[in-house]
C-alpha cells in the first residue's frame, strides 16, 4: 500500500473519530428510538457544516471551471452556421470538416484521417498515450475502415472516433457504452449533446457506427458492427474460470490506465460494482488517490439507512487506507452559474439523465483540481438489449453530470470487460455476480454502525 501523506492521515483520523461516534449513537438509536435518531441527525448535520466550511474557500474557483457542455464538441461542414453556445470554442479544420471543441475537450489527430475526441486508453497495448493510439489506428488505413473500427472497438476510456475516408465520407464510432454522446440532425451536424442541435435529432447507440456522406447534406447511414460476423475473430470466453481471471486482470489494467490521467477519486458506495472497482484500483494505488461518497442532507429524515451507507463507505475506505471525502448534495439556486450550465446542458426532455441533478454536479465541484472520477457506471449490463439501451448509464448518480466540473471515467466502459460480464452472468438476474470474487479480495471491515 502506498504511503498516505500526513494531511490525509489527519482526515482519516477525523473520519475514524466520526465513525466511532456514529457507532455509539446508532446503538443508542436501536435502544432508545426517536431521541437517538435525532442525535444522529444532529451529528450528521455537524459533519455537513464542517464540509461546507471547507468548501467555502474552494467554491468560487471550482464553480468558475464549470461550464455548459463541458468536454463537448460540435462537428459540421466548414463555413456552417453554429449555435451561440459553441461560437467561442476552439476550432480545428480537418479536410472539409470543422471541429469545435469545448476548452476541456481533448483532441488528437493522426494523418489528417483519424480524429479522437476524449480520453481513450488501449488495454491490450497497456498505454494511455492518445497520440500513439491514434497513430496505430491511422496505420490500419490500408486495411480499410472496417479494420480501424474493429481495433477501436477494443479501446477503453471515454472517446469518440471520426475516420475521414478517402472518398470524403466520415465514419463515427463511440466507445463501448457510448458514454460520450453522438447526436446528429437532418443537416448531418454532429454534436456531443442534444441541446446543441436543432430538431429532429438522432443518437448513436452502442455497437453501431454512423457514416456521413457529403458534409451539410442529409446523407447518412447507421450500421451495427457488433456482435462481429461469424469467423471474424470474435473471442468470447465461455469457460468460467478463464473468463473470471481475464475479467479481473482486464478491469485492473483498465482502472490503472485511467488513474494515470489525473488524480484518481473513486466514487465509493456499498454497491458491489463500487467495491469491485475499489479492489481493482487497490492493485495499483496512487499516493494522491482518494475515495468520496455523496450524501444528501435531507435524507437524514428518512431513517438510519442513508447514514449507515455513508459511514459504511467511510469505514471501508479507512480499512484499506484510502482517504475519504464526503460531498454534500444540496439544492442549487437556479441563478447559480453551475445550475445554469446544468440546465443548458441537460434540458428537460428525452435526453435528460434520469437521476442527474445540479446538486450532484455542484457536489463534484468540491473535488480537488485535476481529479479524474473513477465511477462504476456501466457494470449493470445484463444482456445486449440493456447494453444498447443505455438506461443503466442515465440512472447513475454522478454520471454524466459530474462532467460539468470534473472528468468522469468509467472502468467498466470496455468492450472486453462487458463481453466477459455477459459471458459470466448468463441468465442470472444479478448482473453483479461475476464481480463477487473481486469484492472478496477486500479486507472485511468491522461493522461501521454496531449496536
Please check whether residue 261 is in contact with residue 119, taking contact to mean a CB–CB distance below 8 angstroms: yes
According to DSSP, the β-strands at 290-296 and 107-110 are unpaired
Catalogue all structural domains in the chain, each as residue range(s) with its CATH number.
6-65+236-439 (3.40.50), 73-224 (3.60.20.10)
CA-CA distance, 448 to 317, in Å (whole number)?
11
E runs forming strands in 332-421: 371-374, 407-409
CA-CA distance, 295 to 23, in Å (whole number)?
18
Please check whether residue 379 is in contact with residue 432, taking contact to mean a CB–CB distance below 8 angstroms: yes
Please check whether residue 201 is in contact with residue 210, taking contact to mean a CB–CB distance below 8 angstroms: no
**pLDDT in tens for each of the 451 residues of the chain?**
444 444 444 444 444 454 454 455 445 444 434 444 455 556 556 655 655 555 554 444 344 344 899 999 999 988 888 999 999 899 999 988 999 999 999 999 999 999 999 999 999 999 999 999 999 999 999 999 999 999 999 999 999 999 999 888 999 999 999 999 999 998 889 999 999 998 789 999 999 999 998 555 557 899 998 876 554 444 555 677 889 999 999 999 999 999 999 999 999 998 999 999 999 999 999 999 999 999 987 777 777 778 888 999 999 999 999 999 999 998 888 878 888 889 899 887 556 566 678 889 889 999 998 999 999 999 988 888 888 887 667 667 888 889 999 999 999 999 999 999 988 887 566 777 899 999 999 997 655 444 3
Give DSSP secondary structure letters for 178-227.
--S--EEETT--EESSGGGS-SSEEEPPTTEEEEE-STTSS-EEEEE--S
Residues 6+ apart with CB under 8 A from 236: 419, 423
Packing angle between helix 415-425 and helix 240-259, nearest 10 degrees?
150
Residue 52, H or E segment: helix 34-65
CA-CA distance, 377 to 269, in Å (whole number)?
12
Residues 6+ apart with CB under 8 A from 33: none
Please check whether residue 363 is in contact with residue 369, taking contact to mean a CB–CB distance below 8 angstroms: no
- Sign of the dihedral through C-alpha 76, 77, 78, 81: negative
Q: pTM of the predicted model, to two decimals?
A: 0.83
**Cell numbers that stand for 1 in this block:** 500500500
If 0-12 CB within 10 Å is exposed, 13-18 middle and 19+ buried, where does residue 379 land?
buried
According to DSSP, the β-strands at 114-121 and 170-174 are unpaired
CA-CA distance, 170 to 163, in Å (whole number)?
6
Amino acid at each position: 500500500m502506498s504511503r498516505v501523506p500526513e494531511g490525509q492521515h489527519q482526515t482519516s483520523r477525523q473520519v475514524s473519530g466520526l465513525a466511532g461516534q456514529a457507532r455509539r449513537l446508532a446503538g443508542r438509536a436501536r435502544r432508545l428510538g426517536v431521541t437517538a435518531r435525532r442525535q444522529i441527525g444532529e451529528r450528521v448535520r455537524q459533519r455537513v457544516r464542517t464540509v461546507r466550511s471547507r468548501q467555502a474557500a474552494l467554491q468560487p474557483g471550482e464553480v468558475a471551471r464549470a461550464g455548459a457542455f463541458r468536454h463537448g464538441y460540435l462537428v459540421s461542414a466548414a463555413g456552417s452556421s453554429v449555435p451561440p453556445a459553441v461560437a467561442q470554442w476552439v476550432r480545428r479544420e480537418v479536410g472539409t470538416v470543422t471541429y469545435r471543441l469545448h476548452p476541456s475537450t481533448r483532441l488528437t489527430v493522426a494523418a489528417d484521417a483519424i480524429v479522437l475526441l476524449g480520453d481513450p486508453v488501449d488495454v491490450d497495448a497497456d498505454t494511455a498515450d492518445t497520440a500513439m493510439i491514434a497513430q496505430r489506428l491511422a496505420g490500419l488505413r490500408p486495411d480499410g475502415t472496417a479494420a480501424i473500427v474493429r481495433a477501436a472497438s477494443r479501446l477503453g476510456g471515454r472517446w469518440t472516433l471520426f475516420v475521414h475516408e478517402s472518398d470524403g465520407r466520415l465514419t463515427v464510432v463511440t466507445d463501448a457504452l457510448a458514454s460520450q454522446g453522438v447526436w446528429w440532425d437532418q443537416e448531418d451536424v454532429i454534436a456531443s449533446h442534444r441541446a446543441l442541435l436543432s430538431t429532429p435529432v438522432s443518437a448513436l447507440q452502442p455497437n453501431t457506427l454512423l457514416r456521413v456522406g457529403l458534409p451539410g447534406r442529409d446523407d447518412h447511414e447507421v450500421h451495427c458492427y457488433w456482435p462481429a460476423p461469424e469467423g471474424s475473430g470474435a473471442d468470447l470466453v465461455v469457460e468460467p474460470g478463464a473468463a473470471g481471471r481475464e475479467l479481473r486482470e482486464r478491469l485492473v489494467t483498465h482502472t490503472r490506465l485511467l488513474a494515470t490521467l489525473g488524480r484518481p477519486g473513486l466514487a465509493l458506495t456499498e454497491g458491489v460494482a463500487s467495491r469491485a472497482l475499489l479492489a481493482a484500483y487497490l492493485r495499483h494505488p496512487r499516493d494522491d488517490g482518494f475515495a468520496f461518497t455523496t450524501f444528501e442532507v435531507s435524507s437524514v429524515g428518512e431513517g438510519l439507512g442513508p447514514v449507515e451507507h455513508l459511514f459504511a463507505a467511510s469505514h471501508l475506505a479507512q480499512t484499506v487506507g484510502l482517504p475519504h471525502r464526503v460531498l454534500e448534495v444540496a439544492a442549487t439556486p437556479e441563478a447559480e452559474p453551475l445550475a445554469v450550465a446544468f440546465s443548458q446542458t441537460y434540458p428537460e426532455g428525452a435526453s435528460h439523465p434520469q437521476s442527474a441533478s445540479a446538486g450532484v454536479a455542484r457536489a463534484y465541484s468540491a473535488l480537488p483540481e485535476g481529479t479524474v472520477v473513477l465511477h462504476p457506471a456501466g457494470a449493470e449490463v445484463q444482456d445486449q438489449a440493456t447494453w444498447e439501451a443505455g438506461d443503466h448509464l442515465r440512472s447513475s448518480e454522478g454520471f454524466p453530470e459530474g462532467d460539468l466540473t470534473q472528468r468522469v471515467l468509467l472502468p467498466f466502459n470496455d468492450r472486453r470487460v462487458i463481453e466477459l460480464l455477459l459471458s459470466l452472468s448468463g441468465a442470472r438476474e444479478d448482473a453483479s455476480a461475476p464481480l463477487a470474487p473481486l469484492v472478496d479480495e477486500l479486507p472485511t471491515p468491522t461493522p461501521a454502525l454496531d449496536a
